[in-house]
Amino acid sequence: MFLAVTGFAILRLHSLFAVVMLSGVYSLIAAAMFVALDAVDVAFTEAAVGAGISTVLMVGALSLTKQREKIPVHTPLLPMVVVLVTGAALIYGTFDMPNFGDPDAPANRYLVDRYIQESPKEIGIPNIVTSVLASYRGFDTLGEVTVIFTAGVAVLMLIGGARRRRRPDSRAGPEATRE
């Protein structure tokens, strides 16, 4: 509920600084929600990443751009229709979903029982999330780390070089090459 309220506030506000701050609040509420849903590791990550680092990065980006959003002139009717149709289709889809907290839901059976019962014996560490993350699904995690690595390198390439003077009239052309 709080999440939805914060989301609406983000939608309505035009001051980008307030939007960024609210998105930090939103992440913190989401983290609290994850704790309530027994996902302590995820909550930890969300609180550190969403409420901490990404807010700082967004403020950093804001300081390089501008603070206020332009008020939209036309009423966005078409996006509203698109979003409502998508939402209706998804709600229709949820009618077939298993009940909340159902231990017999397909997602909670088969492989998961094995992880829960065998991993303390096979891996020898109590935190099942860590053992699945680093051992059973090591390839996945390697891929994720590579994605982070690539994103970091891409950011360095995009804004890492010396700052180029902005030319309002001639953007394209040979002077577009950096430095």
Which amino acid would we find at residue 61? A
Q: How far is the CB of 3 from other proteins (least distance, A)?
A: 6
Rounded CA separation 163/56 (Å): 21
Rounded CA separation 40/129 (Å): 10
Distances (CA, A) of 97 to 21, 85, 102, 170: 34, 19, 10, 55
Phi, psi (5° rounding) for residue 21? -60, -40
27 burial via Cβ count (<10 Å: 0-12, 13-18, 19+): buried
Q: Is 114 in the site for other proteins (CB under 8 A)?
A: no
Q: How far is the CB of 145 from other proteins (least distance, A)?
A: 5
Rounded CA separation 131/124 (Å): 9
List the one residue from 25, 28, 100, 175 that touches other proteins (CB under 8 A).
100
Q: Is 160 in the site for other proteins (CB under 8 A)?
A: yes
For other proteins, what does the binding mask look like between residues 129 and 148, x meaning CB under 8 A?
A: xxxxxxx-xxxxxx-xxxxx
Q: Is 1 in the site for other proteins (CB under 8 A)?
A: yes
Q: How far is the CB of 62 from other proteins (least distance, A)?
A: 7
| Nearest Cα residue to 36 out of 119, 100, 93 | 100
Total binding residues for other proteins by CB under 8 A? 114
46-85 residues in contact with other proteins (CB under 8 A) are: 46, 48-50, 52-54, 56-58, 60-66, 69-70, 72, 76, 79-80, 82-84
List the one residue from 28, 32, 122, 175 that touches other proteins (CB under 8 A).
122
Q: Is 28 in the site for other proteins (CB under 8 A)?
A: no
Please say whether the beta carbons of 118 and 125 come within 8 A. Answer: no
Q: Is 3 in the site for other proteins (CB under 8 A)?
A: yes
Q: Is 125 in the site for other proteins (CB under 8 A)?
A: yes
